[in-house]
Amino acid sequence: MKRFWAAVVLLVSVAAGGLYNLSSVSSTVHDISATLTQAQNAAQQEQLSTAAQLTAQAHDDYQQHEAYLSAVIGEKLLDEVRLGFARTQAGVQAGDCTQLALELAGLRQAVDDLLRAEAIGLKNIF
């Protein structure tokens, strides 16, 4: 009977850890994505300085959580996000709001893909 309860405790612990991980990644992705959406809207309205400031804020948020994300998400997806931030920075430096808005849309998609990679399913369990 002790083995049964030990197995139950272990199963509950693993499930709780998985839900905590999903919650943490979801919160991080949502915050970064919301900031990038604001930056994209600013770029579409030709407000380059506001878009640049919001993009920098999103990049700072990403860097604060990058160590945790790299522990739980594959490097390929994180590389796409890093590349997206580099492209948006180039768009800011070029001063082209149209190009910046396009790059921000791509970056937001890459950030949203991080959450899709962590979705609960049999693929992530086995």
Q: Locate tokens 């919301």: which residue?
A: 34
- Burial status of residue 117 (CB atoms within 10 A of its CB: 0-12, 13-18, 19 or more): middle
Distance CA 34, CA 28 (A): 10
| Cα torsion through 8, 118, 40, 32, rounded to 10 | 40
In degrees, to the nearest 5, what angle opens at C-alpha 20 toward C-alphas 79 and 14? 105
Distance CA 41, CA 28 (A): 20
- How would you write 23-51 as a 3-class SS string? HHHHHHHHHHHHHHHHHHHHHHCCCHHHH
Q: What is the pLDDT of residues 72-111, one digit of tens each?
A: 888 899 999 999 999 999 999 998 889 999 999 999 999 9
Q: Which CATH architecture has domain 20-125?
A: Up-down Bundle (1.20)
In the chain, where the domains are located: 20-125
15 or 104: whose pLDDT is higher? 104
pLDDT above 50 for 56:
yes
What is residue 117's predicted lDDT score, i.e. its pLDDT?
78
